């Protein structure tokens, strides 16, 4: 006997809001006409080359939209805007992006974090350009499936690109939208557990005639009114329909997942100087959160191990060099979404052994003044600043008094 077709579970809140969709659309669009972020200095990628807001159905520069949407995946608009401007000045075309050196791409991204996004942008550009060259067509996909084939793009980002660049009727569900919908429905579960229902609601609310404007309005509502803390419900066009507002405690939503324990690690880092005052850096392997970036070598402290022993051991294991671990340069802490790290950084004198890339892509001796030419993780930029301050003090107190290095001089 054939199985009965599966249907979404009935949801009274979803049904209620779907029935009100025409009114809710108009309320949101009326609000956005007055309060939306529609100045060219706020969202320049949403404007035509002539500097005007696009008409219905008018296409925008897809590269500008794509880069903006990827940058906004983990970064707020005011923070990402100067990065977007610098990126498009340096890499203004698909051809420029696909041909750029990885070091340039990562340097342009430095400070935004989640560096895999930058590498995936370039990988996507190469794939799009290759497809266009083979078939003689526009490189830009016009379907969700086409965009989601590119590395690092999920449904919401792909939909936002399509609605923004081409005014296609695609619903979105980024973090701001999830928060708005969780409050509209007073959802008793964390949004991650209600994605199917939220997608249905976002699709039901979407204005099929003005999808670009509607999605911009929905994102702006979440970013400027329905904020994570202290939402401005008195200014919200949807307050009358909002179940969380009716319940008297909108800030209670979205319901959060139970907090999880984040592991803590201590990392010993060696700033290794040779006899000529150069410093040793290595390039991380491509995989992982910080793949392809440069760093000062080091590794995780083992239980019961002195941090100086950690540094000496890690440099021997990963670079095949012997060092004398000297004074502490700096301590700093850095939190990722999945772990917290404390970096304990010591100056080191190179004694012996030609540095070998045993656990990285390559190693290099560089002048301290040239470190800015290499893309580093955020934590390492503070180490660079501390190193330069130490060198200034050392030169002032005893010119030329840098650690004397042993072994062969590395090129």
4 pLDDT tier (thresholds 50, 70, 90): very low
Q: What is the DSSP string of 371-396?
A: GGGS---HHHHHHHHHHHHHHHHHHH
Q: Is residue 185 part of a domain?
A: yes
The pLDDT assigned to 405 comes to 52
Rounded average pLDDT over 239-268 = 92
Number of helical (H) and strand (E) elements in the chain, helices listed first: 15, 7
Task: Give the pair of three-digit tokens for residue 149.
Answer: 């084939």
Q: Which residues have C-beta within 8 Å of that of residue 333, sequence separation ≥ 6?
A: 340, 341, 342, 343
Q: Please confirm whether the linkage preceding 254 is cis (ω < 30° from 0).
A: yes
For residue 356, give both structure tokens.
């070998």
**Is 348 contained in some domain?**
yes
Q: Is the per-residue pLDDT at 323 higher than 90? A: yes
Token pair, residue 130, equals 């290759």
List, for residues 145-201, the tens digit of each pLDDT value. Answer: 999 999 989 999 999 999 999 999 999 999 999 999 999 999 999 999 999 999 999
* C-alpha distance from residue 67 to each of 14, 103, 146, 176 (Å): 33, 18, 16, 19
pLDDT value of position 406: 52
The answer to whether residue 8 is domain-embedded is no
* Residue 318, in any domain of the structure: yes
Query: Would you say 257 and 284 are in contact if contact means Cβ atoms under 8 Å apart?
Result: no
Q: What is the C-alpha to C-alpha distance for residues 202 and 156, in angstroms, rounded to an integer?
A: 11
Domain end marker among 228, 252, 276 = 252
Q: Are residues 383 and 284 in the same domain?
A: yes
Residues 234 and 182 in one domain: yes
Q: What does the pLDDT read at residue 6?
A: 46
Q: What is the average pLDDT value for the chain, to the nearest integer? A: 91
Query: If pLDDT is split at 50, 70 and 90, which confidence band does 135 have?
Result: low
pLDDT at res. 404 = 52
For residues 221 and 288, membership in a common domain is answered with: no
| pLDDT digits 0-9 by tens, 348-386 | 999 999 999 999 999 999 999 999 999 998 888 899 999
Say if CB 296 and CB 345 are below 8 A apart: yes
What Rg, from alpha-carbon coordinates, does the chain have?
26
In a domain? residue 86: yes
> Is residue 406 assigned to a domain?
no
Clarify whether residues 110 and 241 are in a common domain: yes
Same domain, residue pair 174 and 221: yes
- Domain with 166 in it: what CATH number? 1.10.340.30
Alpha-carbon torsion 26, 14, 229, 157, what sign? Answer: negative
Q: Is residue 410 part of a domain?
A: no
299 plus 366 within the same structural domain: yes
Q: Which of 218, 252, 286 is the last residue of a domain?
A: 252
Enter the tokens of residue 10. Answer: 């009935």
What's the pLDDT band for 13 if we cut at 50, 70, 90?
A: confident
DSSP symbols for 102-130: HHHHHHHHTTS--THHHHHHHHHHHHHHH
Query: In terms of domains, do 181 and 310 share one?
Result: no
**What pLDDT is attached to residue 11?**
79
Same domain, residue pair 148 and 102:
yes
Of 69, 170, 314, 318, the catalytic one is 69
* Residue whose C-alpha is closest to residue 213's, from 7, 386, 53: 53
Residue 399 has pLDDT above 70, yes or no: no
pTM: 0.83
Residue 164 and residue 246 share a domain? yes
- Alpha-helical (H) ranges within 233-283 are 243-246
Q: How far is CA 305 from CA 262, 334, 350, in A?
A: 22, 21, 21
DSSP of 312-370: HHHHHHHH--EEEEEEEEEEEEEE-SS-EEEEEEEEEEEEE-----SSSSEEEEE-GGG
pLDDT at 9: 55
- What average pLDDT does range 272-298 have in this prediction? 91
Q: Is the model's pLDDT at 410 over the cut of 90?
A: no
Q: What is the mean pLDDT of residues 324-332?
A: 96
Q: What is the 3 state secondary structure string of 160-204? A: HHHHHHHCCCCCCCCHHHHHHHHHHHCCCCCHHHCHHHHHHHHHH
Asked whether residue 218 falls in the same domain as residue 357, the answer is no
Residue with tokens 């941090």: 307
d(CA 279, CA 403): 11
Residue 268 contacts residue 341 (beta carbons within 8 Å): no
Please compute, for residue 77, the number of CA atoms within 13 A of its CA located in the half-sphere on the CB side: 15
Q: Which domain holds residue 389?
A: 264-397
Report the first-to-last Cα separation within the chain, whole angstroms: 74
* Last residue within a domain, chosen from 225, 252, 279: 252
Q: Are residues 240 and 274 in the same domain?
A: no
Residue 170 catalytic? no
pLDDT at site 402? 47
- Which percentage of the chain shows pLDDT scores above 90? 79
pLDDT band of 128, cuts 50, 70, 90: very high
What is the share, in percent, of the chain residues with pLDDT greater than 70?
Answer: 93
- The domain that holds 299 is classified in CATH as 3.90.79.10
**Containing H/E element for 62?**
helix 62-71
The pLDDT score that the predictor gives to residue 120 is 93
**Is 405 within the bounds of a domain?**
no
Q: What is the pLDDT of residue 129?
A: 87
pLDDT band at 287 (very low <50, low <70, confident <90, very high): confident
Report residue 314's pLDDT band, with 50, 70 and 90 as the boundaries: very high
Instruction: Measure the CA angle with vertex 161, ends 61 and 111; round to 5°.
Output: 85
CA distance 172 to 169: 10
Question: Is the same domain home to 92 and 207?
Answer: yes
Closest CA to 352 of 312, 400, 387, 299: 312
Counted domains in the chain: 2
């Amino acid at each position: 006997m054939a199985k009965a077709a599966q249907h979404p579970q009935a949801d009274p809140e979803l049904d209620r809001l779907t029935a009100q969709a025409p009114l809710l659309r108009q309320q949101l669009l009326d609000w956005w006409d007055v309060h939306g972020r529609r100045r060219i200095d706020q969202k320049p990628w949403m404007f035509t080359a002539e500097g005007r807001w696009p008409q219905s159905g008018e296409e925008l520069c897809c590269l500008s939209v794509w880069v903006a949407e990827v940058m906004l995946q983990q970064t707020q608009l005011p923070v990402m805007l100067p990065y977007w401007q610098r990126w498009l000045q340096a890499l203004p075309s698909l051809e420029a992006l696909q041909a750029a050196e990885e070091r340039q791409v990562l340097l342009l991204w430095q400070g935004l974090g989640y560096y895999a996004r930058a590498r995936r942008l370039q990988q996507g550009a190469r794939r799009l350009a290759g497809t266009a060259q083979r078939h003689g067509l526009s490189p830009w996909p016009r379907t969700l499936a086409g965009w989601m084939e590119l590395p690092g793009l999920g449904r919401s980002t792909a939909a936002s690109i399509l609605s923004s660049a081409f005014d296609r009727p695609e619903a979105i569900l980024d973090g701001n939208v999830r928060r708005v919908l969780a409050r509209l429905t007073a959802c008793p579960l964390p949004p991650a557990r209600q994605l199917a229902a939220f997608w249905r609601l976002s699709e039901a609310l979407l204005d099929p005639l003005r999808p670009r404007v509607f999605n911009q309005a929905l994102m702006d509502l979440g970013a400027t009114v329905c904020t994570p803390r202290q939402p401005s419900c008195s200014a919200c066009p949807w307050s009358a329909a909002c179940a969380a507002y009716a319940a008297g405690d909108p800030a209670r939503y979205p319901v959060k997942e139970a907090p999880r324990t984040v592991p803590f690690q201590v990392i010993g880092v060696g700033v290794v100087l040779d006899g000529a005052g150069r410093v040793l850096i290595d390039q991380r392997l491509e995989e992982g959160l910080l793949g392809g970036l440069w760093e000062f070598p080091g590794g995780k402290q083992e239980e019961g191990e002195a941090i100086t022993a950690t540094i000496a051991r890690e440099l021997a294991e990963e670079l095949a060099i012997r060092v004398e671990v000297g004074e502490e340069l700096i301590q700093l802490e850095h939190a990722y979404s999945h772990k917290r790290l404390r970096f304990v950084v010591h100056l080191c004198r190179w004694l012996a052994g030609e540095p070998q890339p045993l656990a990285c892509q390559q190693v290099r001796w560089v002048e301290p003044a040239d470190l800015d030419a290499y893309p580093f993780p955020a934590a390492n930029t503070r180490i660079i600043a501390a190193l330069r301050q130490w060198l200034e003090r050392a030169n002032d107190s005893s010119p030329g008094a840098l650690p004397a290095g042993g072994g062969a001089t590395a090129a």
